[in-house]
């Protein structure tokens, strides 16, 4: 395992890209640094004892407000990690044209070591600390789920915020990833995984790019290995199989790894894990000696969907995938990247491929500010218009359209349809922008550098518009 600083790794990738932009050094420096780092230590009474909890919120860039990014609950949380993740949020938002600065939060706990009641206490106290320092609010800084947190934690956060900010009409927009019943949005839970699928499908659609790694264009039939069956990994697998015709041949989780060349039924595997507590001994699959072995399997697409630093100088040379889709943040260290690129592997960078989560968070925030569900105004109107159109076609042609086909043709879009199509469009458009940079800059030979340059061009023009850097 490599012990390279995660933030240093992000900075190194930034510097590699910055040289292609021709932007003034001072401006690049301002974009690169973390604007605000808030470290907190607070006591929480657990049983008869007091636990002192270490936590962070980092706002990397204020060029657009609010700042945005998840909150992570893990024992591995430290300042360097939260700074790196906050920085990645800035570039991620720019790449998918989500008008936020980057931020990230972290609470250094093992969430599995606490009861639900205790987690609620910790979450509410953390939120109170953020309110106290003005580090949360719909126009200030808007957290979301990340590793170790989910809709439940977001519900506690919004409730705590509203207790303090009674009467703030936009208070629901202080956090995203909330349960749908608490002002959340449909499709947010699966958004990151769905975005990973849309992104990979787009990457695989370019014949000449696929030819370079010896693959046919199109995602259908491609083999995939996934590390991590959490929210991101599970939905990536499910949607890639069901909507893309991908064959999932390997999975790694905390307890080990399995391989099954003829394809893994993801729902059956999830049931098996729920019942036995492990993915191991899944019928028809082979257990691998070590969980890390899954990363080294022969496959078309490798999707690390767990934590950072998984592919490092120690194992990079043994990676056999043709494409790596960084569903997690920072799974490939800067050292490993050099080795992988030399091997000709296509690395689809985190700041693009996992941006579906923040994209749908943006939709949720807009929904909260507009105080209305998407589709409410136009769904019925559109359905009626399509009805009239179909009836007119029937009248003019003298033919009758069957009821099933008719209901498909005349459906007005609901919230989930709009969220998914907004996400699909975002992922396609962002990839085309990155690929344009990749193709038009002679000296850029990898997608991460191209993604950084695409982000830097947008962020720098925001700064120029602010008049700070004329």
List Cβ<8 Å contacts ≥24 apart for 420-426.
420/187, 420/194, 422/359, 422/360, 422/363, 423/187, 423/191, 423/194, 423/195, 423/198, 423/356, 423/359, 423/360, 424/198, 426/96, 426/97, 426/195, 426/355, 426/356, 426/359
Residue closer to ligand GLU by CB (options 144, 241) is 144
Cα three-residue angle 105-109-113, rounded to 5 degrees: 140
The answer to whether 286 is a known catalytic residue is no
Could you give the 3-state DSSP secondary structure of residue 24?
A: coil
Nearer to ligand GLU, 160 or 329 (CB): 329
For the bound state, the minimum distance from the C-beta of residue 44 to ligand GLU, rounded and expressed in Å, comes to 23
- At closest approach, how far in Å is the CB of 69 from ligand GLU? 5
Which member of 61, 160, 176, 309 binds ligand GLU (CB under 6 A)? 176
Nearer to ligand GLU, 228 or 256 (CB): 228
Among 68, 125, 238, 448, binds ligand GLU (CB under 6 A): 68
User: Minimal distance in Å, beta carbon 77 to ligand GLU?
Assistant: 13
E strands present in 209-322: 223-227, 247-253, 256-259, 286-288, 301-304
Classified as helix, coil or strand, 261 is coil
By CB under 6 A, is residue 70 in contact with ligand GLU?
yes
Tell me how far apart the alpha carbons of residues 311 and 327 are, in angstroms, rounded to a whole number.
Answer: 13
Among 6, 11, 17, 69, binds ligand GLU (CB under 6 A): 69
Tokens of 11: 């900075």
Report the C-alpha gap between 410 and 429 in whole angstroms.
Answer: 27
Site track 249-288 with ligand GLU (rule: CB under 6 A), x = hit: ----------------------------------------
| 199 binds ligand GLU, rule: CB under 6 A | no
Q: Which of 68, 92, 104, 178 is catalytic?
A: 104
Assigned token pair, 283: 């019928």
Which one among 9, 227, 329, 420 touches ligand GLU, defined by CB under 6 A? 329
Residue 144 interacting with ligand GLU (CB under 6 A): yes
Check binding of 368 to ligand GLU (CB under 6 A): no
User: How far is residue 186's CA from residue 208's CA, in Å, rounded to a whole number?
Assistant: 36
Provide the 8-state DSSP code for 256.
E
By CB under 6 A, the count of residues binding ligand GLU is 12
E strands present in 84-230: 101-107, 141-142, 223-227
- Which residues, numbered 382-421, are part of the site for ligand GLU (CB under 6 A)? none
Binding-site member from 358, 418, 450, 451 for ligand GLU (CB under 6 A): 358
Using Cβ positions, the residue closest to ligand GLU within the complex turns out to be 70
196: phi then psi, degrees, rounded to nearest 5: -60, -45
Q: Which two tokens stand for residue 115?
A: 């009861």
Quick one: which segment of 63-71, 297-305, 368-376, 415-423 binds ligand GLU (CB under 6 A)?
63-71
- Stretch in the footprint of ligand GLU (CB under 6 A) among 57-65, 108-116, 356-364, 385-393: 356-364
Query: Of 360, 359, 368, 367, which Cα lies nearest the Cα of 158?
Result: 368
Residue with smaller CB distance to ligand GLU, 195 or 256: 195
451 with 352: CB under 8 angstroms?
Answer: yes
Task: Report the residue number, 227 or 410, with the smaller CB distance to ligand GLU.
Answer: 227
Q: Work out which of 11, 81, 141, 146 binds ligand GLU, going by CB under 6 A.
A: 146
Long-range contacts formed by 264-269: CB under 8 A, 24+ apart: 266/234, 266/237, 266/238, 266/241, 267/238, 269/229
Q: Rounded distance, CA 453 to CA 456, Å?
A: 5
- Which of residues 148, 304, 331, 357 is near ligand GLU by CB under 6 A? 357
Helical spans, DSSP H, in 99-144: 116-132
Gap between the Cα atoms of 11 and 216, Å rounded: 35
Least distance to ligand GLU, CB of residue 177, Å? 6
Return the range that interacts with ligand GLU (CB under 6 A); candidates 68-76, 125-133, 201-209, 420-428: 68-76
User: For ligand GLU, which is the closer residue by CB, 196 or 453?
Assistant: 196
Name the one range near ligand GLU by CB under 6 A: 31-39, 123-131, 353-361, 450-458.
Answer: 353-361
Bridge partners of residue 130, in order along the sequence: none
Residue 137 as a binder of ligand GLU (CB under 6 A): the answer is: no
The structure tokens listed for 111 are 């969430």
If you search the block for the tokens 């938002």, which residue do you land on? Answer: 93
The set of catalytic residues is 104
Which residues would be at the binding site for ligand GLU (CB under 6 A)? 68-70, 92, 144, 146, 176, 329, 354, 357-358, 361
């Amino acid at each position: 395992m490599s012990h390279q600083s995660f933030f240093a790794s992000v900075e190194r990738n930034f510097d590699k890209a910055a040289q292609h932009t021709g932007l003034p050094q001072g401006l690049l420096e301002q974009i690169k640094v973390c604007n605000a780092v808030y470290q907190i230590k607070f006591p929480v009474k657990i049983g008869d004892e007091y636990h002192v909890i270490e936590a962070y919120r980092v706002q990397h860039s204020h060029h657009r407000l609010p700042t945005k990014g998840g909150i992570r609950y893990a024992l591995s949380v430290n300042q360097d990690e939260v700074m790196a993740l906050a920085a990645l949020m800035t570039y991620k938002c720019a790449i998918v044209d989500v008008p936020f600065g980057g931020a990230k939060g972290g609470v250094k706990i093992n969430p599995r070591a606490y009861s639900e009641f205790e987690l609620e206490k910790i979450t509410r106290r953390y939120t109170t600390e953020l309110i106290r320092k003005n580090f949360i609010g719909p126009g200030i800084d808007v957290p979301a789920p990340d590793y170790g947190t989910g809709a439940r934690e977001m519900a506690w956060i919004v409730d705590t915020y509203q207790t303090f900010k009674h009467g703030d009409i936009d208070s629901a927009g202080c956090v995203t990833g909330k349960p749908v019943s608490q002002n959340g949005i449909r499709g947010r839970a699966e958004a990151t995984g769905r975005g990973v699928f849309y992104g990979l499908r787009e990457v695989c659609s370019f014949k000449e790019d696929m030819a370079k790694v010896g693959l046919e264009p199109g995602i259908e039939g491609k083999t995939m290995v996934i590390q991590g069956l959490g929210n991101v990994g599970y939905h990536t697998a499910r949607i890639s199989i069901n909507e893309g015709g991908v064959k999932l041949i390997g999975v790694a989780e905390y307890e080990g790894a399995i391989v099954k060349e003829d394809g893994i039924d993801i729902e059956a595997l999830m049931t098996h894990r729920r019942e036995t507590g492990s993915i191991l001994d899944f019928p028809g699959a082979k257990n691998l000696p070590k969980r890390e072995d899954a990363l080294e399997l022969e496959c078309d697409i490798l999707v690390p969907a767990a934590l950072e630093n998984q592919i490092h100088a120690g194992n990079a040379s043994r990676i056999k995938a043709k494409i790596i889709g960084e569903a997690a943040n920072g799974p490939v260290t800067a050292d490993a990247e050099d080795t992988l690129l030399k091997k000709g592997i296509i690395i689809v960078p985190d700041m693009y491929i996992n941006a579906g989560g923040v994209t749908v968070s943006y939709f949720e925030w807009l929904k909260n500010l507009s105080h209305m569900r998407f589709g409410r105004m136009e769904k019925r109107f559109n359905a009626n218009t399509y009805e009239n159109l179909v009836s007119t076609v029937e009248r003019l042609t003298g033919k009758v359209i069957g009821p099933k086909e008719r209901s498909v043709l005349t459906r007005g879009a609901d919230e989930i349809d709009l969220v998914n199509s907004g996400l699909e469009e975002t992922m396609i458009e962002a990839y085309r922008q990155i690929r344009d940079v990749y193709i038009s800059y002679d000296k850029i030979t990898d997608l991460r550098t191209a993604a950084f340059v695409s982000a830097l061009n947008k962020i720098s023009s925001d700064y120029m518009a602010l008049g700070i850097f004329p």
